[in-house]
Amino acid sequence: MTFDEAQGYVVLATLAAPLLTMLLLVFVPGTQKTAVRYISAVAGAIMLGLSVYIFTAYQVGDGHNDIQMQLRWTWVENVAFLKKDGVTLALGVDGISATLALLNGIVAFAATLVSWKLDFRTKDFFILFWMLVAGVYGTFFSLDLFFWFFFYELAVVPLYLLIGVWGSTRKEYGALKLTLMLVGGSALIWIGIFATVNEAGLGTFDMRQLWAAGADGTLDPTFQKTFFPFMVIGCGVLAALWPLHTWSPDGHMSAPTAVSMVHAGVLMKLGAFGIIRLGIQLMPEGAEFWMPTLMALGVMGAVYGATAALTQRDFKLISGYSSVSHMGYVLMGLATMNAIGVTGAVLQMFSHGVMTALVFLMIGALYDQAHTRDMKDFGGLAKVMPVWVIFYTLAGLANVGLPGLSGFTAEFHIFVGTFRTYPLAGALAIFAAALAAAYMLRMFAIVFFGPLNPRWAGLKEMTPLEKVSGGLLIASMLAMGLYWAPFTDRIGASVTLLPGVTG
């Protein structure tokens, strides 16, 4: 067994950890809520540790830049239309998925800590929650289209129950709309996958063989141009691609805190990740043809989301629209098809992940006590919840793109990449960042500052667990904001190898 293969088992363990936790929780009586919580917290910590290991162990340098830590188990082959390597459980990471796996570890652990006070059907909640996390890890690690899709669905489906059962504010509507839109997108992806496997005629779902087929023209250019939109629209729904974004404000408004954190923090990134894996890598010709359109839609989302956020009154709607805006940046970065922009897009996925998770954590900490999210009800909260205000302010400043926090690092790379090919789009995106300052500061001014509304004199500071959870997210934001070379080294190494991406 080579070292790389041994590390492959680490990847497998990271994927297996949430699944085993699910299995373990099934055998814990539902009344033993504390046990459920402790098991979940320990499991979350283990997953975070494994994710950190994968991220740090990913080697950068000449001859190292490809997919590493591979593991391959044959699942089904030589049956019906499947030939050799028909379906394999092939796992592995590149610089992009190593970074995103780290994000998943951080956000999932933070969300576990925040869910400590969840008291309604705790066991069921955590079983579904770990299913979601397993789906996310699986999608990041899979190198086989079949399993990629399998895990993608595994991540999406529990959302319906998590929002529908544990949510608030029009939760049935939010959950239903979200699930239907995402499943609709999945249908497009599934069509795209089958069409690709059929067109390539290799009888395999193995991504690496299919990527090669896409690059060397086995997948006909016309085919690529036809089916690229299937993949991008299908994945784009989850990445809040304008105009398919409307599940985002409603879904976030309805979802419970931990689900909002994981959903906005990690799940939305699956969509953008899918655009890389199934779009850029699988259909480079299609990508070249369609990227200007994606750029236009990305700019549209960035400006539109920021504009709509300006006049919202519900915290979660602000964050929902701001997510649309920030995911618009991600799409823009991908659409640049140059190394700086695409790296920026992945940086933004990480940055937006931790930042939005922190924002939803803050909103949850307030909503649990106040039971309203209308900004106009508040005022002067810095008096009663100073730490909460500092945390939220940091999240907001990252959102605004303040240097020193992760948002700037990511947005800066995206802007630079965009300017290289589309200066006008880049200028509009920078303008949207100024709008972000306006909507964030408007909220700060109304909610945090000014005289304290006596109705809220009794509000309590965040719990210690919430502080730990928020502190972890803030540390991540600062790490990327102050010294981003560890991130750009890994991401850049893989991004420069993507087909069609220029230096």
Comparing CB distances to another protein, the nearer of 191 and 438 is 438
Q: How far is the CB of 73 from another protein (least distance, A)?
A: 34
Q: How far is the CB of 268 from another protein (least distance, A)?
A: 17
Comparing CB distances to another protein, the nearer of 217 and 403 is 403
Residue 481 CB contacts under 8 Å (≥ 6 apart), including other chains: 398, 403, 404, 405, 406, 407, 408, 409
Q: Is 424 exposed, middle or buried (0-12, 13-18, 19+ CB in 10 A)?
A: exposed
Q: How far is the CB of 34 from another protein (least distance, A)?
A: 33
The DSSP string of 445-473 is: IIIISSSPPGGGTTPPPPPHHHHHHHHHH
Q: How far is the CB of 432 from another protein (least distance, A)?
A: 9
Q: How far is the CB of 104 from another protein (least distance, A)?
A: 23
Q: Is 250 exposed, middle or buried (0-12, 13-18, 19+ CB in 10 A)?
A: buried
- Check the CA dihedral 465-467-470-476 and report its sign: negative
Comparing CB distances to another protein, the nearer of 20 and 478 is 478
Q: How far is the CB of 106 from another protein (least distance, A)?
A: 21
Comparing CB distances to another protein, the nearer of 18 and 407 is 407
DSSP category for residue 144: B
Q: Take residue 404 and report the two structure tokens written for it.
A: 């020193």
Comparing CB distances to another protein, the nearer of 244 and 363 is 244
Comparing CB distances to another protein, the nearer of 157 and 491 is 491
Neighbouring CB atoms inside 10 A of 317's CB total 20
Q: How far is CA 433 from CA 85, 396, 440, in A?
A: 47, 12, 11
Q: Take residue 163 and report the two structure tokens written for it.
A: 């929002």
Q: How far is the CB of 415 from another protein (least distance, A)?
A: 6
Comparing CB distances to another protein, the nearer of 19 and 176 is 176
Residue 65 CB contacts under 8 Å (≥ 6 apart), including other chains: 95, 493, 494, 496, 497
Q: Take residue 32 and report the two structure tokens written for it.
A: 């033993």
Comparing CB distances to another protein, the nearer of 284 and 286 is 284
Q: How far is the CB of 278 from another protein (least distance, A)?
A: 23
Task: Indicate the Cα dihedral angle 122, 375, 401, 233, nearest 10°.
Answer: 60
CA distance linking residue 142 with residue 158, whole number of Å: 20
DSSP collapsed to 3 states, 212-256: HHHHHCCCCHHHHHHHHHHHHHHHHHHCCCCCCCCHHHHHHHHCC
Comparing CB distances to another protein, the nearer of 133 and 491 is 491
Neighbouring CB atoms inside 10 A of 1's CB total 7
The helix (run of H) or strand (run of E) holding residue 434 is helix 423-443
Comparing CB distances to another protein, the nearer of 88 and 336 is 336
Comparing CB distances to another protein, the nearer of 8 and 426 is 426
Q: How far is the CB of 47 from another protein (least distance, A)?
A: 28
Residues 151/135, Cβ–Cβ less than 8 Å: yes
Q: How far is the CB of 488 from another protein (least distance, A)?
A: 5
Q: Tell me which residues touch another protein (CB under 8 A).
A: 177, 180-181, 243, 246-247, 250, 304, 307-308, 310-312, 339-340, 343, 380, 382-383, 397, 402-404, 408, 412-413, 415-416, 419-420, 423, 426-427, 430-431, 433-434, 437-438, 441-442, 444-445, 448-452, 483-485, 488-489, 491-492, 495-496, 503
Q: How far is the CB of 225 from another protein (least distance, A)?
A: 25
Q: How far is CA 17 from CA 48, 494, 496, in A?
A: 11, 26, 32
Residues 110/137, Cβ–Cβ less than 8 Å: no
Neighbouring CB atoms inside 10 A of 218's CB total 15
